[in-house]
A and B are shown apart, each in its own frame.
Chain A
Amino acid sequence: MENINLEATPKTPRVTFSFEKGNLELLGRSIPENSVEFYEPLNNWIASYGESPQEITTFDVKLEYFNTSSSKCLLDLFKMLESINEKGTEVRVNWYFEKDDGDIEEAGEDYQAIVALPFTMIEVEEI
């Protein structure tokens, strides 16, 4: 299947979804007015990926900002990954946050509370 490689824009993150590596990465900021348009293809990609996922899938979320419209779409991505996790392969989430950015850290904890995937919280100097 085709990988996804999207450059970052002022309102959307860089997206690197690699089928071979089983690695999905969002990097930057996600603040579009309507995030459905942006996230729908990512959701569809995960749906097809889920038909024959790698042994281990990692989802690296490296967002410095995201708006509430994106937060709902992110949850949908997590839910898609959850269903892959139930099929006997492993899905891991790495949640990055900048040092002192309690809001992004808390947002990661919020997802942890509602998503049945193992989260690793990773503090970095700068995203």
Chain B
Amino acid sequence: MSINSIYELYQSMERNNAIVSFKGLVTADLLNSVLQIMESKLDYSEESTKTRKKVYSVLVECLQNLYHHSEEEIIKIDGQTEHQIKNASILCISNPADYYEIKTGNYITKDKAEELEGKISNINSLGKEELRELYISVLSKGQLSSKGTAGLGLIDIARKSGNKLEYSFMPISDKYSFFCLQVKIKQ
């Protein structure tokens, strides 16, 4: 990586009006720090309490998804090099136009990817009232997992953002995909 790429990185972040970007292990401490930074940044720059709260709530769910669901194994990429990908996640929060954007990425096994894709495409096919019904049904019938997850995170993100979840699964190896999620919240 050439030294000049720092400036390119800066320009790209500047163009997107990046607020917080992070790559690495999502620990409970990191989660706390990001939330704290975002809360004070939003307090300073976002006038609408409503928007501030939406961004914050969606961010909590996105971060906790990364925290709970990233893979922690040593995986083979391209069948050659072995990388230790311990909770290697990426998170970018930006304010590129009249909306906030939260982007996340993390490794996921292919069988989980398939299940997740079904779940997201179902969420995206539903309108506001149907999403509410789905939320209520999962809330009242579901059980918390041992990690304390309720299976409600993505439904909640879709409801609060009021937008479709943009996503893709990039094939990495025969066992893993990289899951990209992008959520927009209007100002």
Contacts and interface: CB of A to CB of B under 8 A. Distances in A.
Contacts, number: 74
A34 interface: yes
Interface of B: 28, 31-32, 35-36, 49-50, 53-54, 56-57, 60-61, 64, 67-68, 132, 135-136, 139-140, 142, 144, 147-150, 152-153, 156, 159-160
Interface string A68-83: 1101110100000000
Interface of A: 10-11, 31-37, 64-65, 67-69, 71-73, 75, 98, 100-103, 106, 110, 113-114
Contacts of B153: 68
26 contacts: A10-B36, A32-B148, A33-B31, A33-B148, A35-B148, A36-B148, A64-B53, A65-B53, A65-B60, A67-B60, A67-B61, A69-B64, A69-B149, A71-B150, A72-B139, A72-B142, A72-B144, A75-B139, A98-B49, A100-B49, A100-B50, A103-B57, A110-B136, A114-B136, A114-B139, A114-B140
B56 to A, nearest CB: 7
A68 B49 CA distance: 21
From A35, A67, A68, name the one whose CB has the most chain B CB atoms within 10 angstroms. Answer: A68
B147 A68 contact: no
A49 to B, nearest CB: 22
A33 B28 CA distance: 8
Given A71-B152, A72-B150, A75-B139, A101 B144 contact: no
Contacts of B54: 103
B61, B135, B144, most chain A CB atoms within 10 A = B144
